[in-house]
Amino acid sequence: MSRSSRTKRQFASLGVVLCAGLVAAGCGSSSSSNVPQTHTSGAATQPTAITIAQYAGIQSWITQVAIAGGFFKKNGIDATGITVNSGPQATAALATGDVQLIVADTPLTAPLMAKGTKLAILTAAHRVVFSLMGAPGQKFPHASEGFPAVMQDLKGKSVGVYGLGTTAQFEVEALLAAAGMSKNDVTFEVTPGQAASLAALDSGRVDTAMVSPPAQFLAAKSGAQMLVDLRQHVPGLGGAIGAIAGQIDDGVWTSQAWLSGHKAAAKEVQTALVEAGKWIADPANTAKLLSYVANFGVPAGSSTEQLQFLRASVPVITTTVSRSALNAWMNLVVTYGLIPKAIPISQYLVVPVPGIPTIGG
């Protein structure tokens, strides 16, 4: 089958998955029928074909650079990226085998694992990216007091999130709970993606929104207020939600069904991602990085402004998995009821990951 025909088939199949939404995300195991296989011709081994669910934002920089920079190709991986709008769409596609890699965090992957789908984390992707911001013109009398006082200003207000059931919504609910409030104190509005969230903030359609880079930068330029910035330690924010602020957030995940038949390819994927991460971190590559990720959350503006944004954003990217971060996230999802009990790290950290010398519970 030609690459063009295969890609068209994957897009058509993915469309069915995305319509299934969270229902599909509850599937018990991955189907192997849609998984591209490594093919051999005589003694020559053909590249392993994989499809990656990507977001049009900084969350997917690590996989996009691995594709555009040739890191996957160099390591024997034929990778195709398909854009999705939310984490539930990505996990649904992974659960059915329509994609082989996703970038996701524990609030999305833990419920899937709790329902029986076995997953594996290959590398980290980035640190926490979300911030809660208030619309221009809205009054937040307690904003200067920080957390938890500022959360009182959200009572009766609307909060824009990329989708219902997303990490953005979950983090807002956790912030409310940590402030002694209820998720019923606000109304969640779906603002699918950064552009929609910014437009909703600017127009006043929502009072607040949970946004990721570069939306924080662009929203601030439009007069939006920073209310809670989870990209860093938040004074006054304790408990389970406070423990994840500034920590590693998303990782690159695959299904163990795919992993079991592609162990060598999984190592090649890991190698490519780590190489891409090191390349991103090198300041000498910033200009080239702009060409690779121009359609992945880079704000409009002059090249100088865009490069400034890249330099400020690059430190968020990391491929090093942190055990303490994984434990903090697992504690968070259990504390707030996403799953009934913690899933041991050993059940999903099943292959050696760069930055972790030993694998264990």
- Domains, the chain, ordered by start: 3-127+248-328+339-347 (3.40.190.10), 131-244 (3.40.190.10)
Measured distance CA(195)–CA(221) in Å, rounded = 14
Alpha carbon 231 to its chain centroid, in Å, reads 13
- Give residue 167's pLDDT: 86
Say whether 304 sits in a helix, a strand or coil: helix
Name the region of 337 (left: φ>0; alpha: ψ -120 to 50; beta: rest).
left
Largest CA distance in the chain: 71
Measured distance CA(250)–CA(187) in Å, rounded = 26
- Give residue 342's pLDDT: 97
Say whether 283 sits in a helix, a strand or coil: helix
Say whether 269 sits in a helix, a strand or coil: helix
- Give residue 282's pLDDT: 96
- Give residue 165's pLDDT: 85
Measured distance CA(359)–CA(356) in Å, rounded = 7
Question: Which of 202, 193, 206 has the alpha carbon at shortest distance from 224?
Answer: 202
- Give residue 40's pLDDT: 37
- Counting every residue written for the chain, the total comes to 361
Return per-residue pLDDT of the chain as tens, 361 residues: 433 333 333 333 444 333 333 333 333 333 333 333 443 333 457 899 999 999 988 889 999 999 999 999 999 999 999 999 888 899 999 999 999 999 999 999 999 999 999 999 999 999 998 999 999 999 999 999 999 999 999 999 999 999 898 889 999 999 999 999 999 999 999 998 778 899 999 999 999 999 987 788 889 989 999 999 999 999 999 989 999 998 999 999 999 999 999 999 999 999 999 999 999 999 999 999 999 999 998 888 899 989 988 988 898 899 999 899 999 999 999 998 899 999 999 999 998 887 665 443 3
DSSP 99-161: -SEEEE-HHHHHHHHHTT--EEEEEE-BB---EEEEPTT---TTGGG-TTGGGGGGTT-EEEE
**Tokens standing for residue 252:** 């690159």
Question: Which of 336, 62, 36 has the alpha carbon at shortest distance from 173?
Answer: 336
Model confidence, pTM: 0.77
- Give residue 357's pLDDT: 56
Measured distance CA(92)–CA(111) in Å, rounded = 12
Alpha carbon 104 to its chain centroid, in Å, reads 4
Measured distance CA(50)–CA(100) in Å, rounded = 6
- Give residue 356's pLDDT: 65
- Give residue 289's pLDDT: 97
Kindly provide the b/e burial profile for residues 89-107, where b requires at least 16 CB atoms within 10 angstroms of the residue's own CB: bbbbbbbbbbbbbbbbbbb
